[in-house]
Copies of this chain bind each other. A is one copy, B any other.
């Protein structure tokens, strides 16, 4: 019997309660597919700061190193916002994990589910045009990690600086990830850059063109980041896979997520070259609704499905989860935020949605 081990980092806010539902679903997968998914929980984020004194305790990092994948909840909240930046949950835990495990390939799907178009902030006809985008974001380089960065000079001429930096190798491997993904989807990659201004973007464009030659069945388009933020609003159905650097991917993926109007449904994967990955919902820790049993567990459950697919090669199990989610949405078993204001009393709880998917 196949065995896998998963480091479960539920984190803060709604993290623990939606993770509980993902665990239920993974229990069901174990039985149905006759596999073992050993899960060990580790503290992370604000909870780890409170209990262990730091956002990413060494035992958590060690547990992640020994696992086949990390299933991540969400971290942060107002309680820890006053800490110095370097100690805050987002940077101390999330950016450190990305960089430590070289999780360069970040996949963020954004879809408007049939029947849920009214949730989108876009005009009805645009929301109904069949929106299904995959943002492929480079996650371990660019201006997030580029050196040098610092502060120099004095008085009013004192200045701060950051370096945006990309090597051919770094661009090539994320471009390959985008083209591979497009081959399994609708065969189109839109590469986002600012090649009319940035040298990193020119190299980005050059390598994207090179990689495209190995994928004659995939169409490559280039778009400037400023125009991309416009087109996502005006005609999002034109996009299949959007290939982005770290900073532009941060912006584009969030705009795409918001455009669906249902952030609680969106998973994400962050992987390295060995198939190791961190899987987490696109939304945040939502401290305002934590502990009330009303949070949507679907993003967490779909993150678990991505984990099975990409880190454990269990495509069938992932398919089963994704089908169950679609069936649950179609059956109208929905948490409150997916319902119109006047139908909120029909809302299902976090655990009811989890049970239905199981």
Contacts and interface: CB of A to CB of B under 8 A. Distances in A.
Interface string A187-212: 00000001111111011000000000
A165 B153 CA distance: 12
A231 to B, nearest CB: 8
Nearest to A125: B121
A282 to B, nearest CB: 11
A231 B233 CA distance: 13
Given A123-B123, A153-B167, A233 B259 contact: yes
Interface in A67-120: 85, 88, 90-91, 95, 120
Given A121-B234, A229-B255, A257-B230, A161 B149 contact: no
A167 B163 contact: no
Contacts of A123: 120-124, 127
Nearest to A255: B229
Contact of A164 (B157, B162, B199, B233): B162
Report how many copies the assembly holds.
2
B199 A226 contact: no
Main secondary structure of the interface of A (DSSP, over half): helix
B251 A233 contact: no
Nearest to A202: B160
A258 B126 CA distance: 14
A157 B259 CA distance: 37
A156 B167 contact: yes
A61 interface: no
B233 A151 contact: no
B247 A233 contact: no
Contacts of A163: 161-164
B233 A233 contact: yes
A169 interface: yes
B230 A161 contact: no
A122 B122 CA distance: 4
Contacts of A219: none
B203 A160 contact: yes
Interface residues of A, number: 61
A264 to B, nearest CB: 14
Contacts of A251: 225-226, 229, 251
Scoring A157, A159, A172, A194 by chain B CB atoms within 10 A of each residue's CB, the highest score goes to A159
A196 B157 CA distance: 23
A151 B207 CA distance: 14
A216 interface: no
Nearest to A124: B123
A227 interface: yes
A214 to B, nearest CB: 15
Contacts of A95: 197
A153 B203 CA distance: 13
A38 B152 CA distance: 46
Contact of A258 (B225, B230, B253): B230
A159 B168 contact: yes
A254 B226 contact: yes
Scoring A149, A151, A166, A230 by chain B CB atoms within 10 A of each residue's CB, the highest score goes to A230
Given A160-B200, A194-B247, 4 more contacts: A123-B123, A156-B167, A160-B199, A230-B257
9 contacts: A90-B196, A122-B233, A156-B172, A157-B167, A159-B167, A226-B253, A230-B254, A233-B258, A251-B251
User: What 7 A-B pairs come out closest when comparing CB atoms?
Assistant: A230-B258, A160-B203, A159-B167, A156-B169, A226-B254, A229-B255, A161-B165
